[in-house]
Amino acid sequence: MRVTTVAAAALLAGSLAACSEMTAGTETTSPAPAETTPAQDTESTTGAAPDDDDAADDGATGDGTGTNDALASGDRLPPAGATAMFTVLTEHPGDLIELDWDTERERWEVVVLSGDKKLEVYTSPAGTEITEVDDSEPAEQKDRDRAAAVQVSVNDAIDKVMAEYPGVLDEAKLDENNGRLAWQIEIDNVKGSTDSVKAYVDVVTNEMWLDD
């Protein structure tokens, strides 16, 4: 499934809207990506990223960096994670195949197939700024075939798993399990405990199951 910047903007808008509902009554300012990201004719320059200050405010829960948001327990994709995907896909349109929160270095890793490269792109904790790009690996046909088969978006898969197993998002990536192509979602500190869960969501049927 081709993930364009417009689709990423919709992803971000949905995540921030959900966050806004959860924080009703508190002083927050959510950007409106759908308004600031009009669809144009070129994928690489479609729309503009939301205002950095506003996006950073939405991606953070206290220090303005987005770190607290990434580490906060929740029941849906963290807004900073959605922002990171939006930021990366704006600069490198293509097929997103992995989202990972690097706890040690406090940054998001977003892996995309863009052009003929498999890019590992790193962003700030709030997801608003690209800090590093590793484009040394060519995109393999196997990865392209997998991405083309995806019908369930990564954000929908994350939300599905976290709704049942709320906690801290660790990783979401396109993988195979028991011969089925699925989003592999790893959640830490499930329901406030020290437990972790690895779940899979079928990229076509949206069926969820736990790792054996």
Encode pLDDT of 186-201 as tens digits: 999 999 999 999 999 9
Q: Is 54 inside a domain boundary?
A: no
Position 88 confidence tier, pLDDT thresholds 50, 70, 90: very high
Q: Total structural domains in the chain?
A: 1
Is there a contact between 59 and 67 (Cβ–Cβ < 8 Å)? no
Quote the domain boundaries for residue 197. 79-210
Residue 202 lies in a domain: yes
pLDDT score, position 95? 97
Asked whether the whole model's pTM tops 0.85, one would answer no
Q: How many helices (H) and strands (E) does the chain have?
A: 7, 8
pLDDT of 34 above 50? no
Establish if 172 belongs to a structural domain: yes
Q: Is residue 46 part of a domain?
A: no
User: Is 111 among the domain residues?
Assistant: yes
- Return the pLDDT at 24: 42
Q: What percent of the chain has pLDDT over 70?
A: 67
Give the burial class of 102: count Cβ atoms within 10 A of its Cβ; 0-12 exposed, 13-18 middle, 19 or more buried.
middle
Q: Residue 201: inside a domain, yes or no?
A: yes
| 84 lies in some domain | yes
CATH number of 119's domain? 3.10.450.40
Ramachandran sector of residue 174 (left: φ over 0; alpha: ψ -120 to 50; beta: rest): beta
Beta carbons within 8 Å of 119's beta carbon, 6+ residues apart: 92, 94, 111, 112, 113, 133, 134, 135
What is the pLDDT, as a whole number, of residue 168? 95
Tell me whether residue 183 is in a domain: yes
The C-alpha R_g of the chain, in whole angstroms, comes to 16
